[in-house]
Structure 1
Amino acid sequence: MRNIIKSTGQLGWALIAGCLLFSACSKEDTGSLEAIVPTPSFTSAALTPSEASASNVELINTSTQSMTAYWTVLDDAGNSVGTFTGDTVRLALTFAGTYTVKMAAGGPGGLSDTIQQAVTVDKDNVYAVGPTTLLGILTGAALGKTSRTWKADRVVSTVIVWDTYDNCLGQINGGAGAWWAFGPGEIATDGSGRDGYFDDTYTFNFAKVGKMVYDDHNTVYLDNGGSGWTKALPTPWNTTQATVSSTTLYDAVPALKPWGSGTFGYTIAAAPAGELKQGTITITGKGGHFGLQDKINNAEEVTPTANAVTYDVLEMKTDQVDASGKHYDMLAIGVHYDADGNVFTFMMRSDR
């Protein structure tokens, strides 16, 4: 029993001595051990994007007592651009506009309240678009351009009619056997071919609100009543097989004018959208098209009525070289044109 009491006494004296030696045992000093929650603040700076670095905005955490910062960025429609972590964050924002930046700072005492600021981007950023993306290739942003012009590739597989996209792609890439495709007569360059189709151009701009300028160069090809819309034309147009003036034809048949030159809208859905998961391109506005004008989703028009046509992207190839040595990019698109799901496909090219 004596030994137990002795041990207890030694422990008690040790505790008393500890309190005498260390003033932290006093009530007044307990506050000095509490961790502090950061006071949040940040600044932003505009950067000049380039091919080497696509960043056009820098966010800098200036909070006190902060260990790191957590960011959320929204576009001017309230859609999330992304979430980021770090005291300095560089962003490659694609389009001009006012973005909302939200930030909370984390520190030893926990996470601060969230603050936000409006950050304005003055110019569209072509460098923010990847070189192999649909938007980048279609608009030329992948090449540092703000617009790009496409036209039908003058090859026999430029227009194919078949039952599936896969079969069409087989012919595009060297196979054969389609129900129907352009042949040597269609692509002839001596004036007997479909020049009224091959001289059409489609120019896509790089912008948040996409515009496509279609130019038919005052020509249109008539196929001797071989398609529904040309068969329905009045005499002598319904028995004409030649490239003719689109202005003259559309003045004679005003209902066809929306198929002529004009400015249309476009939207894209990036991969994995679309039947082949390569994306889609939708041309908006009555008469807008990207290929043969009468081929729309699940129908062939006699006169233009559709306000939008959505094309599946089948294939994209960059930096191809033709027989003359020209470098170009190729875009293959398609549309199901009847109730059975059969397809028209179109090969387009844009020179670099």
Structure 2
Amino acid sequence: MLALSRTDTSTLGRWWWTVDRWTLVCIAMLIGFGYVLVLASSPAVAHRIGDPRDLLILKQVTFLALAGLIVVGVSMMTPKGIRWLALTGTLVALLLTAFTLVHGVEIKGARRWINIPFLSLQPSEFLKPFFAVVTAGLLVESRNAEKFPGRLLAIMLYGLIALLLKTQPDIGMLAVISIVFLAQLFLDGLNLALVGISAGGLVVSFIAAFFLMPHVHVRVERFLHPTEQTAYQALTALQAFGNGGLLGRGPGEGMVKDILPDAHADFVFAVAGEEFGLVVCLFILGIFAAIVLRGLVRLVAENDQFVLLASAGLLISFGLQAFVNMASSLELIPTKGMTLPFISYGGSSALSVAVEMGMLLALTRRRFTSDRS
């Protein structure tokens, strides 16, 4: 812990004594696990794809260092600053996501990435946190200004994002954003019957996607009827958890990273299971649960509607992303290319989650009334 006096009125001192330090510690532990698991999984992946042995490690170490700085930097901002950051970020992320449809890099049938030096940028990753905050602002403004169509604008923005994500396609990302948006509408006081109708509409939409979108149909069929040929990664990940047992085979002793194509990214949780065992996997799960539950408990006494809606959206997005990754690795749901926050390899993921957690810490800092601008 930093040795700062409670009477320290510097920017750093005021930040340290107002930020949620336990959540900050949990984030630091996740980044620490990210370092450990990238060291375990990346060399074998780099060898397989023909990259220098330490290239992926060096890139991810850089991404995680930047992520840590972003968490701290963004968490020092005021709620007003967070609003402007989210609005600007949403506009930029929307433009770049639309750009991927024209000049994006196609991987496994989807156009979600833009190649820039040292990084394949996935702009839609940044839509999750920014959209949650912008939606909160629009919903609050519709309450404060009677004639301001905040809810309608939020629905229109969601529709635009849904269209872009469906076109890429990225149904998993769309599902997360849809659930976050629906939860925010519910917290804002949307009639329970309308919430039920909206939820039913989501279910119908995903059933339609199963029948009308070939890649969705294939993934669900592979989940329902897995074979060594059609669900190789998922079944191999399950074997890794079995190999690890309670305490794991030991650091560097796992075999799954040598044969699993996405061992450093979507299936990094399987690497943790094989090398460090069930105990460490449950500890990682506990860290994610602690961040989400602690955040939700702190919101129970929150009087600022914007902070409540924005923070709830950020927490739900963060928790859902972690759940989807871990559940996919355990073959509990169909596989989805969604990273484990701060732990999976990926620059876009690390930086977007850092912004997400930085905004959460900024919004939930203890403030006097004069500090809320």
TM range (shorter): under 0.3
- Select the structure of larger CA radius of gyration: 1
Higher normalized contact order (CA 8 Å, seq sep 6+, divided by chain length): 2
Higher helix share: 2
Higher strand share: 1
